[in-house]
């Protein structure tokens, strides 16, 4: 792999964790503008060459910490909405209500947050339902098809 490809991957990986430590989070690059192979390499948390549901959820977990502004280990509706892209923000309230099922003052627990992302992966990302996110599936998702 050429160095010119490694540097952006490292930058993408660091951009997810860095905001947790920084006072003002640096905006992460829009994944839909990155080469599919780069996105899949990042999402492949266990580096087995495939992006499974577990890999995807592993990469979503830092968002819970990053956007939990009050540090209580749960996400309010406002905090939850900040974790979403523009398309998902339009449906945020309905999604939040659907996954907030533990009746603790309209807050998502870690379990509910990961449940939401598991639903997204299984319903919208893994279109052929084989349990793996392929480059073709990512490309269609990123292009809005």
E strands, the chain, are 51-52, 75-76, 107-108, 132-133
The parent domain of residue 56 ranges over: 3-22+30-143
> Do 54 and 45 contact (CB within 8 A), yes or no?
yes
pLDDT of residue 103: 63
Beta bridge pairs of residue 132: 52
Number of domains in the chain: 1
The predicted pLDDT at position 77 comes to 86
pLDDT of residue 96: 81
**6 half-sphere exposure, CB direction, 13 A CA radius:** 3
What is the distance between the alpha carbons of residues 93 and 24, in angstroms, rounded to a whole number?
Answer: 26
**What is the structure's pLDDT at 141?**
87
Say whether 52 sits in a helix, a strand or coil: strand
Going 53 to 15 to 98 to 115, the CA torsion angle's sign is positive
pLDDT at residue 58 in the model = 96
Q: What is the pLDDT of residue 17?
A: 45
Spatial contact of 99 and 119, defined as CB atoms under 8 Å apart: yes
pLDDT of the chain along its 145 residues, tens only? 443 444 444 444 444 444 444 445 556 677 778 899 999 999 999 999 999 999 999 999 998 898 899 999 999 988 888 888 776 777 777 788 788 776 655 888 899 899 989 999 999 999 999 999 999 999 998 888 7
């Amino acid at each position: 792999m050429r160095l010119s490809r490694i540097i952006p991957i490292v930058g993408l990986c660091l951009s997810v964790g860095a905001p947790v430590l920084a006072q003002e989070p640096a905006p992460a690059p829009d994944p839909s503008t990155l080469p599919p192979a780069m996105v899949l390499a990042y999402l492949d948390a266990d580096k087995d060459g495939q992006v499974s549901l577990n890999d995807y959820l592993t990469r979503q977990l830092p968002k819970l910490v990053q956007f939990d502004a009050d540090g209580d280990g749960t996400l309010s509706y406002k905090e939850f909405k900040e974790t979403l892209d523009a398309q998902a923000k339009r449906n945020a309230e309905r999604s939040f209500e659907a996954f907030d099922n533990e009746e603790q003052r309209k807050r998502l627990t870690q379990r509910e947050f990961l449940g939401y992302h598991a639903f997204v992966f299984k319903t919208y990302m893994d279109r052929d339902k084989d349990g793996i996110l392929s480059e073709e599936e990512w490309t269609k998702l990123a292009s809005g098809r």
